A and B are shown apart, each in its own frame.
Chain A
Amino acid sequence: MTSPLTVRVYGVRFGDAILITVPDLDRDGEEVERRILIDVGNVGIGEGGADFMFSEVLEDVRGQLDGRNLDLYVLTHEHLDHAQGLLYAEEHGIEIRADHAWLPASTEDGYYTKHEDARKKQLAMRRSYDLIKKHFAAKENPAWLEAMLLNNDYRSTAKCIEHIKRNVANDVAYIHRDYDIGPHNPFQETRFDIWAPEENTAVYYKGLRSVADPHDRTQEGAGLQQPSDLLPPSGVDADAFYNLVNIRKNGYLSNLLMIDQAGNDSSIVFSMEWRGRTLLFTGDAGQLSWEMMNRPDIGKIREVDFLKVSHHGSVTGIPSIEILDALLSPGAVNQKKEAVVSTYPGTYGGIPAESLLKERVESRCKLSYVDKGKVADGKFIDIEFPPLHTP
């Protein structure tokens, strides 16, 4: 038998950084080690977003590469806690290069020209984000809210993505479920299957409640119709009116959550088939993405040996019971199956959802936690998968 496949999950606090070392074959049929790096980043603010460990993490990656390029770098989605690390490394003199990079289809230049409905939704989301940010500016916000605001800051994320697109890889492919990865797949033996996202990310955007800032005169249409501002109209009970206005204002939080979810749901989700093993990497895929993958006409959900728990173990990231039964095993814990969750309690509200992780994931497989107190900053855990058959 040959060497195992190794999934190395780094402690980067509230973020992801995963290095996979895969024994693969070269063109002559000789075994070689190939490496995939998935994401690298954290939320960038507060305790869960400390940056100091990235140097150690990326030095370790570089050490593993021993002067070579990564075979493949995958950026799962456009959130800072997944995208930030490589730019940080570059700025600190640690150069990481890859032969190939897979980025979400929506990051390709011209994507939004091709997908008009996605463009409109993205525009609405960005407009909404700016209003949300303005609404909460100069306020004492809870840490989770600050983290969520920064994580979804499309301007900051854009810089990280530009760096990856322009500087990191020789070949950049913009991936979606129906994308032909053929020429962009450096592996000879390992088989990849892209489960998500859909090419048109508009499917992941839900509606936004209108919560525009009444005092923002720069908004389209403002001032043109001589608005009576937020005074209750004549004949309306003032208390009831302000109750309505306040509930609409709570829409800021709803909208921010929706923006966050849409970004998560646009994650690249892919499986790797290697010598009888199937490993599933999920980025931050949420409820909507899982539902899409499970649709009969898409039909991606199938049994795997390894699950990277999505979205740091959040309620929305943990798949439904039905899907988990199909991915892992119903009933008793299957010791041969593994899952890992990278998380940092106290950063994002309610994450990780410990009771759900226990109930839904730990009841089905061996779950490793990469979080505070379990894996030190910049260190890692290795999960090894011996091959079930020879090449």
Chain B
Amino acid sequence: MVTAMKARLPLIVQDKLVAQAKGIESVELIEVRDEEYFLDGPIIKSIAVVDFDPATSTVLPGVPFDPPTTEDGWGEYRAASTNALDSPSFINVNAFATVLLTKRMFEEPDVLGREVKWAFDGPQLFVVPRAGAWANAYYERDSRSLQLFYFPSVRRSDRLIFTALSRDIVAHETAHAVLDGIAPDLYDAITPQSLALHEAVADLSAFMMATRSEVLCEAILNAVQGDLTKYTALSSIAEEYASEQGEDRPLRNLFNDATLDPSKGGSPVDRSNPHELGTVLSGAMYSVFLRMYKAATTEVGVSSYSGSPARYEKALFLASQRLKRVMFRALDYLPPGDVSFADYGRAMIASDQKFYPNHEETREWIRDEFLERAIVSDRSSLRVAVNPGGEDLETMARSDWTAYRFANERRDWLGLPSGPFEVKPRLIVKKKYYHKDENKTVRELIFKIGWDVCEDNDIGAEFPKSRRLTVGMTMVFGFDDNRLHTILRTDHKDLQDEQVEQKKDRDSTLRWMAAKGLLLPFRVYQEYSPLFNTRAYADSTIEMMHIKGTGRMLHMSGGFR
């Protein structure tokens, strides 16, 4: 099989509906460099498209790859022409390109600064672009795959809508896979905000991927004359998917005023429903983006839109890059176990604070939005502990024993439990920090410790009276000064109100899941097994409930929602 280092790939701009509405080209070409190889499929080292024939389930031959004919040329997949977007070959290449671009966005030097590692053993994420007839798409850790389904349009029943052709949907599902690799405990989380965090990050990733289409950004800015403080195709998620199911609005809108406490204004959400709950966080971050955009327009010196559209485009680019950094870099800082929106907020503030200590603006905007939407009750809740101290970081990164000893000798100081705790594999990251005054590369050691706590489980007589909850802490050390810079933790003894709220939300979600039959007592689950593959179950063999599979269940039971 021929290999190549770089390729040009066709990619749907957003989805066909948006393209038609905006009167823009449906497809753009993207250039991908620095892959070890491209194979028919498309297949690369980290992603493999496997096209099962919907009629027979046989594996169809991959889309052939034409290697470059000159040393400096570009390879291309022999996909059908862009006039045949529903052809299997185009669907395969489009899904691949979207997954690859989304993954690469996270890997950029100013985000994670490293190659994404999947949550499962093995290097490749499978992408199944025609997984079956269903208005759904999901990431599934067990099969190491993105399953992208298709469904008949309600407008024209002879037309199939392929979720693999939606940039929003594929980017959203890819983000689930990426996040699962970074924070695997969230897959089995029981705190609604933990599950909602997955949804919000996935939606925000879809938004970020939309901002990467110059064609789309230009069309949108033109349509709103540079004023993004209104509903646009950038802020809407999965328009075509919703529309082709007969809905008159997109699946989710990031330009929203969703709040956890509507008594102070804003739109209420069902706090026990992770999909709905996620809009509070994604709405908050979209609002931060709008502030960044406004600041960037001033920075680049815009006047009227007609006079300087390119400057608005530059401002949009700058704002989206800044949002990307602050949102996604913080994912490495998330402590193990269940996390809340406030934990994520603290992670964002910690990562931003460390490298831009004198630029408080972004952190203030995050605090404003989190307060406005009642994610926190006061600004001090987003305070982050900084505790310097000299350590041998290289040894701690390499040796499990040294890392364990470091934590064990400081149980009290770190606030670890007297019982067992788990030292997670340490991570050395190298990230770029851009600023108008200086750009620098920073090397950090990220050290996470997780442990289980027990809490009351008042969700019904058929379930045990107590349940297990994983909590944890993240320590961030800097190699430049050999010091511990940040400690983030989820067992906040000093934030009792937050803890009580989270517990209440967990109870409420688990009751909702039990009432819907989505959460089953282990005995019932066992009797039905393996039929109940869309449900989570409560393993109560030691009279302590431990729930597994919530993230997967939410995706398989409700469609792409």
Question: Which residues in window 152-173 of B have CB below 8 A to A?
Answer: 152, 157
Does any Cβ of A come within 8 Å of B124's Cβ?
yes
Binds B, one of A181-189, A241-249, A329-337: A241-249
The winner among B134, B142, B531, B534 for most chain A CB atoms within 10 A is: B531
Are A349 and B531 touching (Cβ within 8 A)?
yes
Stretch at the interface among A26-34, A42-50, A75-83, A223-231: A223-231
**B58/A227 in contact, CB under 8 A:** yes
User: Counting CB contacts under 8 A, is A91 at the interface?
Assistant: no
Q: Is A316 an interface residue (CB 8 A)?
A: yes
B130 within 8 A of A: yes
**B149 and chain A: residue at smallest CB distance:** A207
Is A167 on the interface with B (CB-CB < 8 A)?
no
Check: A373 CB closer than 8 A to any chain B CB.
no
Residues of chain B with a CB closer than 8 A to A228's CB: 58-61
Q: Cβ of B58 and Cβ of A236 under 8 Å apart? A: no
B 316-354 binary contact with A (CB < 8 Å = 1; else 0)? 000000000000000000000000000000000000000
User: How many angstroms between the C-alpha atoms of A254 and B157 in the bound complex?
Assistant: 25
Q: Which of B58, B123, B144, B149 is A214 in contact with, Cβ under 8 Å?
A: B58
Complex Cα distance, B55 from A221, in Å, reads 6
A234 at interface, CB cutoff 8 A: yes
Q: Does A124 belong to the interface (CB within 8 Å)? A: yes
* A2 CB–B CB distance under 8 Å: no
Contact B132 A222 (CB under 8 A): no
Q: What string of 1s and 0s marks CB contacts (under 8 Å) between A117-145 and chain B?
A: 10010001000000000000000000000
Q: State in angstroms the CA–CA spacing of A322 and B520 once bound together.
A: 17
Is the beta-carbon distance between A210 and B462 smaller than 8 angstroms?
Answer: no
Residues 165-191 of A contacting B (Cβ, < 8 Å): none
A317-356 vs B, CB cutoff 8 Å, 1 = contact: the mask equals 0101110000000000000000000000000011001011
Alpha-carbon separation in the docked complex, A240 to B142 (Å): 10
Partner of A356, one of B122, B140, B462: B462
Within 8 Å by CB of B143, from A211, A247, A363, lies A247
A219 at the interface (CB under 8 A from B): yes
Contact with A along B51-76 (1 / 0, CB 8 A): 01111111111100000000000000
Q: How extensive is the interface on chain B, given as a class?
A: 35 or more
Closest Cβ of chain B to A205, distance in Å, is 10
A233 at the binding interface (Cβ < 8 Å): yes
B543 to chain A, nearest CB (A): 15
User: A-side binding surface: helix, strand, loop or mixed?
Assistant: loop
Residues in B whose Cβ lies below 8 Å from that of A221? 53-56
B157→A225 contact, CB < 8 A: no
Given A206-B134, A237-B122, answer yes or no on A250-B57 (Cβ-Cβ < 8 Å): no
Q: Are B528 and A250 in contact (CB under 8 A)?
A: no
Query: Across the interface, do A355 and B59 meet the contact criterion of CB distance under 8 Å?
Result: no
Min CB–CB distance A41 → chain B (angstroms): 22
Write the chain B residue with the least CB distance to A120.
B152
Kindly list chain B residues whose C-beta atoms are within 8 Å of the C-beta of A227.
53, 56, 58-61
B524 close to A (CB within 8 Å): yes
Q: Are A349 and B528 in contact (CB under 8 A)?
A: yes
Specify which of A207, A231, A235, A353 is in contact with B135 (CB 8 Å cutoff). A207
Find chain A residues with CB under 8 A from B131 CB.
209-210
The answer to whether residues A350 and B527 also contact, given A209-B132, A225-B53, A230-B58 and a CB cut-off of 8 A, is yes
Indicate which residue in A212, A234, A240, A355 contacts B57 across the interface (CB closer than 8 Å).
A212
Some 5 contacts from A to B, beta carbons below 8 A apart, are: A219-B55, A222-B55, A244-B50, A315-B520, A316-B517
8 more A-B contacts (CB under 8 A) besides A116-B157, A233-B43, A244-B145? A212-B54, A213-B56, A225-B61, A227-B53, A233-B41, A244-B144, A248-B143, A315-B517
Residues of A within 8 A of B (CB): 116-117, 120, 124, 206-214, 216, 219-222, 225-237, 239-241, 243-244, 247-248, 250-251, 253-254, 256-257, 287, 315-316, 318, 320-322, 349-350, 353, 355-356, 359, 363
